[in-house]
Amino acid sequence: MDEGAHLSGELSSREAELIKARREKLNQIISMGVSPYASFFASPEQIEYSDDLQRSYSSLQPGASSGKKVNLAGRIMAKREHGKASFIDIHDSTGKMQLIAREDVLGKEKYEFLLFLDTGDWIGVAGEVIRSKRGELSVLVEFYELLSKSLRPLPEKWHGLRDTEIKMRRRYLDLLVNAESRKIFEKRSVIIRSLRDFLDSKGFLEVETPILQPVPGGAAAKPFITHHNALNMDLYLRIAPELYLKRLLVAGFDKVYELNRNFRNEGISTKHNPEFTMLEVYQAFVDYRYMAIFLEELITTVLSEVNGTLTIEHPKGRISFERPWARMTMLEALRLYADLDLSLEMDLEELREIAEAYEVEIHPSAGKGWIIAEIFEKLVEPKIIQPTIVLDYPEEISPLARENPNAPGFTERFELIATGHEIANAFSELNDPIDQRARFLAQAEKRMAGDEAAQPLDEDFLTALEYGMPPAGGLGVGIDRLVMVATGCSSIREVILFPQLRRESQGE
RNA sequence: GGGCCAGUAGCUCAGUUGGCAGAGCACCGGACUUUUAAUCCGGGUGUCGGAGGUUCGAUUCCUCCCUGGCCUACCA
């Protein structure tokens, strides 16, 4: 026995008793010759949804009968027994519908069997749409069929399921009883559909590139490693699809995107899940300034569609995504938010001291650009609550971005920061194969110096670049983060259906 | 990795300055033909996260462990 007993299958006596009672009912049902797991109830087009019924019969008066017979299927969520007439709430995917069961309609035997069923059981019913005397739209049950017997008790109906551990480990229970949780994932679906619609309407091609990559590139992160037996080679779960999408630019696709799952073998937190969803978009012949406008349009379109407004009530305050968003360079942001005047002209030592003074830890191999970015991330990023385009990231930490001709040592790169987090990242893509090789070699030096996340040289990618990649803007949007912003959630686990958790302890 | 907080019935939560463990919902039995957190009557179902320790006695105090949350670090 261990702390996870209630989750890991060993049962305390109370739970065992509840389950035992339901199993006994199950046996009783079987012995009556009734299938507890019927294969089907009706064809899909014959089954109504509860919210459709609510709309269609909105004018039906209390106490009135519609004369219309419908089929409905759902899960029993509540029973109110009143002797010879009872009320049963069932939930389908769209919401709740009340069933009215009457002994004089069903006959004694069928009536009693219906009430013998438990909350959690799935049933299909047929009957007339009526409105009860108290005004609740209902189906007067004339026929029903048990579709699936539930063998475990549901969480409480009024408070729902609060325990965050059970919510995440048994997300189906959370979604089953907590409408707010369901709403988050419905919104997530709307967001993703809206992103696709937007990109498709702009003529982008949706593509799929390898998740198993021989060289994990396109971002600075530690990868998961796996092995292909037949080829006898190690492969990496991608940390980003970037280098493959750029190969497609070389190929001549000038507008491509991939909604992709990335995998990074790093810490788990309220902002990090080992696998997360990213949208990457590449468009030829544009630069990062264009991508900033593109991003504004993309995000505002999606937010309007999902929320009907560009204002979001967030734990960190009211956020407005009205355009145009603030724009500033990283150095300007450091001046504005941290009152720090930094530049690449300063000595490395001086920058190190400033970092130390603000308790910003830096990697021993970090150069000036990296240190400036570190200071920005620790001191400034959390303070940027309203959407802000932060421009010109140091070249040292941007090995795939084009250098900014107006700001030596910096690149044409921006991130969208909001609610104190990075939401999106974009640059004018580096398409010079000679420069790209040099950047990779600089990364290799960092790797030698102990920076595990430094980007490895991808010879095959360089070969592609040598054939000629058109100038292009690239954009990555963290979809989980975007959903967090759109739904006002402050933990990434709330917007991922099955977030990664520690394995349940097996006990001692 | 470090700090703080939490874990009590199937669920949501009280509580015990160390002395037989509590409520609501759910569940079981009964009444009820219009309820909707139905109501009424009766029933408490538990290894108080786990293992040790202190004690006449530990769910309560101590130590360690497990799991989760928040903060922090890491994730440039």
- pLDDT tens-place string over residues A166-214: 899 899 999 999 998 999 999 999 999 999 999 999 999 999 999 999 9
- pLDDT score of A290 more than 50: yes
Question: Percent of chain A at pLDDT above 70?
Answer: 96
Query: What does the alpha-carbon distance between residue A336 and residue A330 come to, in Å, rounded to a whole number?
Result: 10
- pLDDT score of A470 more than 60: yes
Mean pLDDT for the stretch of residues A152-176: 89
Q: How far is the CA of A158 from the C1' of B10 (A)?
A: 14
Q: How far is the CA of A6 from the C1' of B16 (A)?
A: 24
H helix or E strand, kind and range, residue A54: helix A50-56
Specify the CATH class of A12-148 in words. mainly beta
Query: What does the alpha-carbon distance between residue A301 and residue A160 come to, in Å, rounded to a whole number?
Result: 34
Query: What does the alpha-carbon distance between residue A348 and residue A350 come to, in Å, rounded to a whole number?
Result: 5
Q: How far is the CA of A93 from the C1' of B75 (A)?
A: 38
Beta A212-213 vs A205-206: how paired, if at all?
unpaired
Q: How far apart are the first and last CA of chain A?
A: 8
Position A504 scores a pLDDT of: 64
Q: How far is the CA of A10 from the C1' of B18 (A)?
A: 31
- pLDDT score of A376 more than 50: yes
Q: Which CATH architecture has domain A177-264+277-325+455-499?
A: 2-Layer Sandwich (3.30)
Chain B bases near protein CB atoms (7 A cut-off): 7, 9-13, 24-28, 31-39, 44-47, 49-51, 66-76
Low-confidence winner among A112-126, A178-192, A320-334, A345-359 (lowest mean pLDDT): A345-359
Position A10 scores a pLDDT of: 46
Q: What is the pTM of this model?
A: 0.91
Query: What is the CB-side half-sphere exposure of residue A45 using CA atoms within 13 A?
Result: 0
How many residues in total does chain A contain? 508
- The pLDDT-based confidence of A508 (bands split at 50, 70, 90) is very low
Query: What does the alpha-carbon distance between residue A419 and residue A486 come to, in Å, rounded to a whole number?
Result: 11
